[in-house]
């Protein structure tokens, strides 16, 4: 249940006179019974004291201004954070100052949801002050204490509740859900980066469809065009967990202008934006069992985009992918670099420089359509014929 290294860290801190507990998401995941990727530890020791206790280990000051350091033990990283207490939140996201506490109770009561306000000690067992275990068993997301206060402190918690609901399939408790709606205007204080990160993780959740539909009014604060999106449950559930591909499936009904507006409201990489825009532009592609049609599409898009288009639009994905693999394996010509003629050859034929590109594309289309063969002799003869 508890990793050997995390147990060692807790025991070492205890031996040095400090309290230490596993806390937050890793404890939640222990209760749920899912694999744990990140181990978080809370302690009465300050960051400087943690560094002193583990002076022979690598300690990274990842979030030292918030009381957090990352300790590396046998190649495994652990975030260790000093007990903290409530402070004033001036921007509905970050506390004005970090106040250390010597009380685990104080640290737990400032956390977002009951399921994340759990602590565990290998000898003391589970510390559950707010009914988090019961809420996990009943699959409920509930704020710790007053939900309005929790969301006023940190509006990101609104999107975190939606993400957890999508990932875990938990329902959001009614008072918490009402507070999300009442405080949704506070989402304007969040950065595009944080909004985008939460949305993409939500889209990848097992229960994304129901959660996105149920929380449309709240999400409209960060996705103004959400009412224009079409979220197809059957299609969504058939797609792999690729948030950009899934997002692309939602935006197909948008006009080009609305799509660009949506992309401006998010913070995606240029590559991700181009991927979405390309998928959007090819949404009317028709897949058939015609090898020529497939090669024409292959000539226009990258292998990654081709796979996206198959995933979204092909009625017979398996057969389309077999034909694609056959084209690759048999080295059939489908792109300019595979032509047995080059721009240099056309230049030697005194083809005008500004016409070389169009001529090459003409030749490629003729080869794909099997109107001429892909041999240098045939290609040169055809160029002579048309000129």
pLDDT in tens, 259-293: 999 999 999 999 999 999 999 999 999 998 899 99
Q: How large is the average pLDDT for residues 199-210?
A: 96
**Does the pLDDT at position 182 exceed 90?**
yes
Question: Per mean pLDDT, which range of 88-92, 148-152, 155-159, 268-272 is the poorest?
Answer: 88-92
Q: What is the pLDDT of residue 102?
A: 85
Burial of 110 from C-beta contacts in 10 A (0-12 / 13-18 / 19+): buried
Question: For residues 327 and 343, what is the distance between their CA atoms, to the nearest angstrom?
Answer: 24
**Does the pLDDT at position 51 exceed 70?**
yes
Tokens encoding 356? 């070389």
Q: Which residues, listed in sequence order, are joined to residue 80 by a DSSP beta bridge? A: 41, 69
265 alpha-carbon distance from chain centroid: 16
Contact of 43 with 83, CB cutoff 8 Å: yes
Q: Quickly state the pLDDT bin for 92 (edges 50, 70, 90).
A: low
**Tokens 């030697």 appear where?**
348
Q: Quickly state the pLDDT bin for 96 (edges 50, 70, 90).
A: low
Size (the chain), residues: 387
Architecture (CATH level 2) of domain 1-131: 2-Layer Sandwich (3.30)
The dihedral sign for the CA sequence 287, 291, 292, 297:
positive
Q: Quickly state the pLDDT bin for 345 (edges 50, 70, 90).
A: very high
**Does the pLDDT at position 86 exceed 80?**
no
| CA dist list (Å): 16 to 2, 41, 76 | 21, 15, 21
**Tokens 């409209």 appear where?**
220
Q: Over pLDDT 90: what percentage of the chain?
A: 89
Tell me how crowded residue 355 is: count the other CB atoms within 10 A of its CB: 12
Q: Which residues, listed in sequence order, are joined to residue 23 by a DSSP beta bridge? A: 119
Q: Quickly state the pLDDT bin for 65 (edges 50, 70, 90).
A: confident
Q: What is the pLDDT of residue 268?
A: 97
| CA dist list (Å): 235 to 61, 211, 246, 250 | 44, 16, 9, 10
Question: For residues 142 and 132, what is the distance between their CA atoms, to the nearest angstrom?
Answer: 8
Q: Is 3.10.250.10 the CATH number for 139-280?
A: no
Q: How large is the average pLDDT for residues 90-109?
A: 77
């Amino acid at each position: 249940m508890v990793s050997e290294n995390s147990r060692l860290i807790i025991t070492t801190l205890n031996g040095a006179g400090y309290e230490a507990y596993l806390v937050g998401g890793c404890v939640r995941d222990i209760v749920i019974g899912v694999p744990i990727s990140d181990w978080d530890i809370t302690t009465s020791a300050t960051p400087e004291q943690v560094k002193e206790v583990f002076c022979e280990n690598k300690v990274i000051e990842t979030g030292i201004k918030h009381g957090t350091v990352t300790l590396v033990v046998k190649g495994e990283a652990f975030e260790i954070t000093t007990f903290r207490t409530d402070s004033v939140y001036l921007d509905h996201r970050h506390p004005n100052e970090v106040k250390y506490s010597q009380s685990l109770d104080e640290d737990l009561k400032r956390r977002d949801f009951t399921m994340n306000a759990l602590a565990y000690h290998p000898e003391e067992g589970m510390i559950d002050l707010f009914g988090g275990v019961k809420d996990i068993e009943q699959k409920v997301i509930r704020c710790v204490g007053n939900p309005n206060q929790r969301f006023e402190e940190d509006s990101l918690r609104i999107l975190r509740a939606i993400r957890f609901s999508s990932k875990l399939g938990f329902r959001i408790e009614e008072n918490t859900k009402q507070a999300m709606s009442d405080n949704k205007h506070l989402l304007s204080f969040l950065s595009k980066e944080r909004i985008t990160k939460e949305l993409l993780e939500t889209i990848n959740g097992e229960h994304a469809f129901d959660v996105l539909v149920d929380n449309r009014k709240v999400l409209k604060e960060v996705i103004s065009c959400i009412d224009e999106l079409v979220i197809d449950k059957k299609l969504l559930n058939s797609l792999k967990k690729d948030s950009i591909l899934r997002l692309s499936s939602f935006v197909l009904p948008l006009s080009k202008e609305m799509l660009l507006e949506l992309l401006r409201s998010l913070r995606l990489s240029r590559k991700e934006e181009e991927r979405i825009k390309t998928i959007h532009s090819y949404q009317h592609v028709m897949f058939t069992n015609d090898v020529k049609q497939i090669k024409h599409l292959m000539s226009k898009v990258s292998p990654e985009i081709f796979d996206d288009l198959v995933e979204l639009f092909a009625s017979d994905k398996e057969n389309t992918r077999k034909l694609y693999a056959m084209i690759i394996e048999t080295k059939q010509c489908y792109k300019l670099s595979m032509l047995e003629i080059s721009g240099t050859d056309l230049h030697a034929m005194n083809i005008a420089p500004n016409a070389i590109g169009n001529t090459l594309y003409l030749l490629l289309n003729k080869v794909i359509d099997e109107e001429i063969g892909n041999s240098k002799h045939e290609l040169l003869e055809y160029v002579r014929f048309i000129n």
